Structure 1
Amino acid sequence: MGRARRSLLIPSLICAISLLLTFHNASSFYLPGVAPEDFQKGDLLSVKVNKLTSTKTQLPYSFYSVPFCRPENIIDSRENLGEVLRGDRIENSPFTFKMREPEMCHVVCRLVLDDKTAKEFKEKIEDEYRVNMILDNLPLVVPVRRLEQDAPPAYQQGVYIGVKGQYAGSKDEKHFIHNHLTFTVKYHKDLQTDSARIVGFEVMPFSVKHEYDGKWADNTRLTTCDPHAKRTVSNSNSPQEVEANQEIIFTYDVEFQESDVKWASRWDAYLLMADDQIHWFSIVNSLMIVLFLSGMVAMIMLRTLYRDISKYNELETQEEAQEETGWKLVHSDVFRPPSNSDLLCVYVGTGVQFFGMMLVTMMFAVLGFLSPSNRGGLMTAMLLLWVFMGLFAGYSASRLYKMFKGTEWKRIALRTAFLFPATVFVIFFVLNALIWGQKSSGAVPFGTMFALVFLWFGISVPLVFVGSYVGFRKPTIEDPVKTNKIPRQIPEQAWYMNPIFSVLIGGILPFGAVFIELFFILTSIWLNQFYYLFGFLFIVFVILIVTCAEITIVLCYFQLCSEDYLWWWRSYLTSGSSALYLFLYATFYFFTKLDITKPVSGILYFGYMLIASYAFFVLTGTIGFYACFWFTRLIYSSVKID
């Protein structure tokens, strides 16, 4: 029966990977519950504005925090929990189009800058802030040509407020604002009904010093941009400088282009990554690590371990039994409860909670339920899943606690419910206070903070207690061998079996299995780029699980063979130490890829990466612990103990 299961394992894995890549490569998907909207010719299209973003400061601001043109009434859109935590602030705008009716040089408004408004614009241009807009739930993008001639264009989210540079031979750098936007709305036409669906929203920005004759009035015709004379702006126009007492006139063009792209596939161009071959290289690199570790585990399990078990079980005389060496010698101490066993139970329970959240989230993402059109959906799903996975956290922590002869299950439940979330909440609260001090829209409002606390105390904590109660009522996990009352002395270890050295070595391979994909994730988060390769990510996640389990089993076996039975905490720290390398890599990424100069922005980056590394430590540590736990129970239940 066991051989049949093993024989089915490899075909099942191949089928699973093929299915994942099928989902990844599928060009069309519908988000359940979201229906396409059909527009007739002349229908009004309202553009919404979102937050201003900058990769230099990482501090988002609402669109109207800068003195742009405003509509008569500013209406805030309803946002989900994930959008609020991302700092999204979606509002209406003065940009309105009519479906399939082009416009040229439409005047939005006229502003005369004073010292304060000029300073605000200059600061935002200096920090490279971008304006984000939305039309029919599609984000505004700027097409950027690639180096290859035949390659499709890349897309930059949002349009820069302006640029800083020299003009007309001037030696001094000046600030110029993008006050003219040329929009391109792409649509897919239904030939039967003559209705159309929006499949693209692009823009080209220009800085134009508009001119006109006479005094300004609402119906004044511009000489630099006149729809009646078919005169539009170009790069040859003088740019609009940002200075006090300067007059700025905001205008836009809009053209409509028919496209062959269907509505279900309209996100494909936005999600096009630079090169899928890099992700395949990541998968191959990770698989090489897994194959290397699998070979070592197979050698240990099939040759060395099998030989050890046969030798131990064939001992005939008491003299031979007394000459035992290796891992069997510590059988009476290997299941002795570790020091700080309560803390280990808490971390294992938290790791189970985090593992369940990650697994279910990625399964939903691979199946297309977390579409990028549902902004904030990924973060909302992760938060809710974390809360409901508290049931499994309490259960696993309580089961392990009872095995260690613990009796106060309520105490372990309380620590499981509060240790990790409280640590993260304190860091998050400090970072949020810094964001609030910068008057950024990224600061979480009081109402949302209250909602987070309610999710924690009102749902997560009770579920942890329910799980702990159920787990503690289960029968105690029995050890396969008896434990002596007096612990045996651990012999002096070789230098390479030093706990610190072996723990640090153990974290290298799990990190090496994921670091290439980690680069794309960090780029998506901190450089404001799309990431939707959940098929690749899920495969890398599975490889991470296998790598953590195998490296922990290998090092645990070496540790037991050297007669060191203190494996509990070391098994957790061996794979968990990969979080240290993650944080070091994040530090390297900060200094090599990011252009952050403000202290607050740097604190935000390292604060959030510290939270991510802490979560990664809990996740990988728990995987390694359970792998080693299963391994030790398996080998000690396979030998005869007198």
Structure 2
Amino acid sequence: MRLKYSSSTILQLLLLQLLLYSNLLSYVVADEHNHKYQDHDEVVAWMNTVGSIYNRQETYPYFKLPFCRGTSQVEHRHETLGEALQGMDLVNSGISIRYLQPIEHQVICKTTLNPQDIETFKQAISQQYWFTMFIDDLPINAPIGISNLDQDGTDVTYPLHLHKAFTVEYNDDRIISVSLDQQEPMNLNELSTPELSFTYSVTWKPTSILFQDRFDRLLETKFFEHKVHWLSICSSFMMVLFLTGMVSIILLRTVKRDFSRYDREEEGLDDFERDLGDEGYGWKQVHGDVFRQPPHLMLMSAFIGSGSQLVVMGLVMIMYIIKSQSYSERASIMSASIALYTLTAVVSGYSSTKFYATYGGKDWVRNVILTAIIIPVAAGCVGGYINTLAIYYSSSRAVPFMALFSVIVLWFLVVFPLTILGAIIARRWGGYNGSVAGEFPCRINPIPRPIPEKLWYQEPLAIAALGGILPFGSIFIEMYFIFTSFWTYKIYYVYGFMLLIFVILLVVSSCVAIVSTYFLLNSEDHRWHWVSFMSCASTSLYIYLYATYYYFTKTKMTGAFQTSFYFGYTGLLCLGMFCMLGFVGHSAGHWFVKKIYQNVKID
């Protein structure tokens, strides 16, 4: 049964989606401040979270520690969807800062610590807790205190800093940088009185640095622009040259030689089907089976649809970050990613339905549903488990109910309808004529040809497993920089490198898929669909293995929450890479197969 859609209904759906897009994009570009100040204007110091320096994702609200807070009319800052999903908990510190007004040792607040409060502070200091805060959207990180042994090497001291000295650099009416120097450490083991006074001072200094360059001082150029980083780009580029050369040899020499050999052996014969009966060999022998419907067609269609969406999203997202430098804006990358994922849902619906229909799929409704839910359901399962742990640990990473509700509504009202829209476009205007035979250059035999025995390295499983090594090798070094940035306090900003590596990864994956497909077909095995897909998608397995190695050798993460967060969201990353690279590999393999078999087509 075919669904009917009136033009007015489609127009109403499009208007509703455009309205939702405009609201969603306001999350990306909206900001409470224009970053311009006049004399005596209030500059709010927002306290964010506290947590161990080694467990960056296991964070807690700043005032979960027994800090006191100054008086303030503004309690909580309005959060964007990206900030809510990233566990940011911005609360006004109560530190009164006025633009260009210096302050000398003013009291923030006073508090009386009971034995439990003192023990809480000691535990935070011993676990090397750091806090994060923002002033004019500039991040500030500092330790609660650094415990150490006293002079005779016996007792441990727990210094709690009571004074915050801010140094603010400004240019005209804009804040350029904010630095924090913590002073007046008080050893909690030697408290003479449980009453403590927390104080602060503010010093203003002019600077000639422009506002658009103010974030540069926070970027670690020595780390991200190291010679090793440049060397990895060069090595990946050389790998691309090698693989493209190999593919060129296959296309221009090997396949051409095969055609010449077949032509010599079959000279003077007209019937293609008769000629290849029992005397042919190689890839031409399986011409009647290469375009057979692959097993688990619906699942493969869903993977291909999701992968095509992620490829488009990845390219556009990287270019957007390069142009807007959104890494300098808090949680803007997360918000923009959500917006872009919803907008590209039409790509997944189109690609999945086009592939599914091309190979004779009939139940397109179930295919669309599977395509629309395969990534969100995985993200929901992993995110739900981690969110449950966050609630149990009272972590700031616990996503608020309204944020979860917004994501669910966004999927129902935007992502799913756009996926259906893409499917409708593919069925009606995607070039599919309803005849599977008309899509391919060779006729499909009614009975599959038996697959001959072959060496172990020619088996589909071996080809798929070995194929993922080269794409992983092209991104191996870049993975280190990305992991180090995400799991520590370094800000990743070299998105030009990322764009180049991303393109190299796509090219390498395409070449690997073509080579793998040729090797498989040349061994007279027609099961190329999943091989071309998995030979590139298996790269995600190597990424996960590398992530496991990185966790145990490069980090000092501990605890059930941080471990679950690390391996859970790394698994989601690998699932995305699985779909994305699998789509690229199968697309390259499909192009290669149609290219070589169209030259032996019989009208």
Q: TM-score, normalised by structure 1?
A: 0.83
Answer whether contact 2:220 2:490 (CA < 8 A) is retained.
Answer: no
Structure 2 partner of 1:446 = 401
In the alignment, structure 1 residue 266 sits paired with structure 2 residue 214: yes
Secondary structure, aligned partner of 1:61: strand
Structure 2 partner of 1:634 = 595
Describe how 1:107-126 pairs up with structure 2 within 5 A: 107-126=107-126
Cα distance in 2, alignment partners of residues 61 and 408 from structure 1: 48
Cα distance in 2, alignment partners of residues 408 and 610 from structure 1: 30
The residue type equivalent to 1:613 in the other structure is C
Answer whether contact 1:349 1:394 (CA < 8 A) is retained.
Answer: yes
Cα distance in 2, alignment partners of residues 577 and 360 from structure 1: 24
The residue type equivalent to 2:313 in the other structure is M
1:242/1:268 Cα in 2 relative to 1: closer, same or farther (>3 Å)? Answer: farther
Q: Deviations over 1:561-604 (max 9, x none)?
A: 11111001111111000000110111111111211121222112
Secondary structure, aligned partner of 1:514: helix
Q: Deviations over 1:266-324 (max 9, x none)?
A: 11111233241333122112112111111111111111112223443453144975532
In the alignment, structure 1 residue 483 sits paired with structure 2 residue 466: no
Structure 2 partner of 1:144 = none
In the alignment, structure 1 residue 208 sits paired with structure 2 residue 163: no
C-alpha displacement of 1:116: 2.1
Describe how 1:190-589 pairs up with structure 2 within 5 A: 196-209=173-186, 239=187, 241=189, 246-275=194-223, 276=225, 277-313=227-263, 315-318=266-269, 322=277, 323-368=279-324, 370-473=325-428, 474=430, 475-476=432-433, 478-589=439-550
In the alignment, structure 1 residue 169 sits paired with structure 2 residue 168: no
Structure 2 partner of 1:233 = none
The residue type equivalent to 1:280 in the other structure is W
Q: Deviations over 1:7-27 (max 9, x none)?
A: xxxxxxxxxxxxxxxxxxxxx
In the alignment, structure 1 residue 59 sits paired with structure 2 residue 40: no
1:128/1:488 Cα in 2 relative to 1: closer, same or farther (>3 Å)? Answer: same
Cα distance in 1, alignment partners of residues 470 and 382 from structure 2: 29
Answer whether contact 2:157 2:188 (CA < 8 A) is retained.
Answer: no
The residue type equivalent to 2:82 in the other structure is G
The structure with the largest helix share of the pair is 2
Answer whether contact 1:55 1:526 (CA < 8 A) is retained.
Answer: no
C-alpha displacement of 1:432: 0.6
Answer whether contact 2:442 2:601 (CA < 8 A) is retained.
Answer: no
Answer whether contact 1:313 1:640 (CA < 8 A) is retained.
Answer: no
1:608 pairs with one of 553, 559, 569: 569
1:640/1:585 Cα in 2 relative to 1: closer, same or farther (>3 Å)? Answer: same
Answer whether contact 1:184 1:254 (CA < 8 A) is retained.
Answer: yes
In the alignment, structure 1 residue 139 sits paired with structure 2 residue 139: yes
Answer whether contact 2:58 2:561 (CA < 8 A) is retained.
Answer: no
Cα distance in 1, alignment partners of residues 205 and 189 from structure 2: 32
C-alpha displacement of 1:640: 4.4
Answer whether contact 1:188 1:261 (CA < 8 A) is retained.
Answer: yes
Secondary structure, aligned partner of 1:269: helix
Secondary structure, aligned partner of 2:217: coil
Answer whether contact 1:510 1:548 (CA < 8 A) is retained.
Answer: yes
The residue type equivalent to 2:181 in the other structure is M
Structure 1 partner of 2:8 = none
Answer whether contact 1:115 1:244 (CA < 8 A) is retained.
Answer: no
Cα distance in 2, alignment partners of residues 106 and 82 from structure 1: 35
C-alpha displacement of 1:170: 4.6
Q: Which moved more, 1:163-172 or 1:483-492?
A: 163-172
1:260/1:278 Cα in 2 relative to 1: closer, same or farther (>3 Å)? Answer: farther
The residue type equivalent to 1:359 in the other structure is L
Cα distance in 2, alignment partners of residues 103 and 134 from structure 1: 19
Structure 2 partner of 1:6 = none
Secondary structure, aligned partner of 2:94: strand
Answer whether contact 2:122 2:188 (CA < 8 A) is retained.
Answer: no
Cα distance in 1, alignment partners of residues 348 and 230 from structure 2: 34
Q: TM-score, normalised by structure 2?
A: 0.88
Cα distance in 1, alignment partners of residues 189 and 339 from structure 2: 48
1:248/1:168 Cα in 2 relative to 1: closer, same or farther (>3 Å)? Answer: farther
The residue type equivalent to 1:631 in the other structure is F
1:64/1:242 Cα in 2 relative to 1: closer, same or farther (>3 Å)? Answer: farther
1:245/1:566 Cα in 2 relative to 1: closer, same or farther (>3 Å)? Answer: farther
Secondary structure, aligned partner of 2:174: strand
- Corresponding pairs, count: 559
C-alpha displacement of 1:495: 1.8
Cα distance in 2, alignment partners of residues 586 and 121 from structure 1: 33
Q: Deviations over 1:161-198 (max 9, x none)?
A: 11111124251223221222221111124xxxxxx421
Describe how 1:43-192 pairs up with structure 2 within 5 A: 43-57=41-55, 58-73=57-72, 75-140=75-140, 158-189=141-172
C-alpha displacement of 1:54: 3.0
C-alpha displacement of 1:41: 4.6
The residue type equivalent to 2:582 in the other structure is G
Answer whether contact 2:516 2:531 (CA < 8 A) is retained.
Answer: no
Secondary structure, aligned partner of 2:59: coil
Q: Deviations over 1:69-121 (max 9, x none)?
A: 21334511111111111111112112223333433322222322112212322
Cα distance in 1, alignment partners of residues 600 and 210 from structure 2: 64
1:377/1:68 Cα in 2 relative to 1: closer, same or farther (>3 Å)? Answer: same
Secondary structure, aligned partner of 1:206: strand
Answer whether contact 1:208 1:240 (CA < 8 A) is retained.
Answer: no
C-alpha displacement of 1:607: 0.9
Aligned-residue CA RMSD (Å): 2.2
Secondary structure, aligned partner of 2:326: coil
Cα distance in 2, alignment partners of residues 114 and 183 from structure 1: 29
C-alpha displacement of 1:249: 2.5
C-alpha displacement of 1:207: 4.2
Answer whether contact 1:88 1:441 (CA < 8 A) is retained.
Answer: yes
Secondary structure, aligned partner of 1:202: strand
Answer whether contact 1:184 1:201 (CA < 8 A) is retained.
Answer: yes
C-alpha displacement of 1:242: 7.8
1:300/1:385 Cα in 2 relative to 1: closer, same or farther (>3 Å)? Answer: same
The residue type equivalent to 2:405 in the other structure is F
Which 5+ residue runs of structure 1 have no aligned equivalent? Answer: 1-30, 141-157, 190-195, 210-238
Cα distance in 2, alignment partners of residues 115 and 244 from structure 1: 13
Cα distance in 1, alignment partners of residues 406 and 383 from structure 2: 15
Q: Deviations over 1:141-167 (max 9, x none)?
A: xxxxxxxxxxxxxxxxx0011111112
Structure 1 partner of 2:11 = none
Q: Deviations over 1:619-642 (max 9, x none)?
A: 111110101011101110022448
C-alpha displacement of 1:208: 2.7
Q: Deviations over 1:123-158 (max 9, x none)?
A: 322332222222222122xxxxxxxxxxxxxxxxx0
